[in-house]
Amino acid sequence: MTVGGLQGLVVLAVFVALMVGFLAVNQRWPAHFRRIPAYEALRQAIERAVEAGERVHVSLGTGSVIGPESAPALAGLAALTRIARATSISDRPVVVTTGDGAMAILARDSLRSTYQEVGASELYEPTSGRLLGATPLSYAAGLPAVLANERVSVHVLSGAFGVEAGLAADFGERAGLFVIGGSDDVQAQALFYAVAQHPLIGEEVFASGAYLEVGTMHTASLRAQDFVRFGLIVLILLGVIVRTLEGPL
């Protein structure tokens, strides 16, 4: 095993230990996260959509499920279970679109199991998790039809996006929808910041589970994430100081 491999395993082991540790102390030491206005607005928008009999659309992006870009879409799937639960009392269940066939299957599985859990299996439709297009731009081109024909009022974008992020958010904005967008790609985040009403910056897209109260493990993992981040910041600062002191020597 290389030194780098060992370091990676140690970091992962620390991460897992922190997640389990924070899960254990969650009752006694509850988490207090900073406000993310986009998620607060999303909760209200979902409530309004349910009351008005309108639909929530969740886009899981155009990334493949087997690539490194699958992480934001997996976070989106976790949020999807919460959104599906919240909209299960509505006549119009949530609709999910993606640019990857495997992700569409996962979306359908998540919807089916969530509706079964809340005793609303009749809401599940095989067409509610769809592959819109096999390329990023063909996916974006297919979005306006979904937004217009499915009576969508909330447009949630959580997944891997490239430049098509700008189009995907803009189609929602033009239709006057509530638009929230997050991605792992820096370029897509900049596009969301410019176009979407409620952009998610940095790792905020991965915090959806904790902020939408999907489960205690989501809260624990977000705390672990913050803990490791502070550790990394301290290490980076130490490195800067050491290199600065080394410089003139």
208 vs 158: CA distance, rounded Å: 9
Distance, CA of 100 to CA of 107 (rounded, Å): 11
d(CA 133, CA 127): 14
Count of residues interacting with another protein (CB under 8 A): 77
**Distance separating alpha carbons of residues 65 and 72, to the nearest angstrom:** 10
Build a one-symbol-per-residue string for 154-173: x at contacts with another protein by CB under 8 A, - elsewhere.
---------xx-xx--x--x
Q: Of 80, 95, 86, 105, whose CA–CA distance to 44 is shortest?
A: 86
| Span from 24-32, 45-53, 60-68, 237-245 in contact with another protein (CB under 8 A) | 60-68
**Position among 33, 138, 235, 238 found at the interface with another protein (CB under 8 A):** 138
When asked if residue 26 is in the footprint of another protein (CB under 8 A), the reply is no
244 binds another protein (CB under 8 A): no
Question: Sheet containing 95-98: which strands, arranged edge to edge?
Answer: 129-131, 95-98, 55-61, 152-160, 178-182, 198-200
Q: How far is the CB of 175 from another protein (least distance, A)?
A: 13
Note whether 38 and 199 are within 8 A (CB).
yes
Q: What is the H or E stretch that residue 90 is in?
A: none
* Positions 78 through 137 that interact with another protein (CB under 8 A): 78, 100-102, 104-106, 109-110, 112-113, 117, 126-127, 129-132, 134-135, 137
Residues 172-231 that bind another protein (CB under 8 A): 173, 184, 186, 189, 191, 193-195, 197, 201-203, 205-207, 209, 215, 217-218, 221-222, 224-225, 228-229
Minimal distance, residue 48 CB to another protein, in Å:
19
**CB-nearer residue toward another protein: 20 or 51:** 20
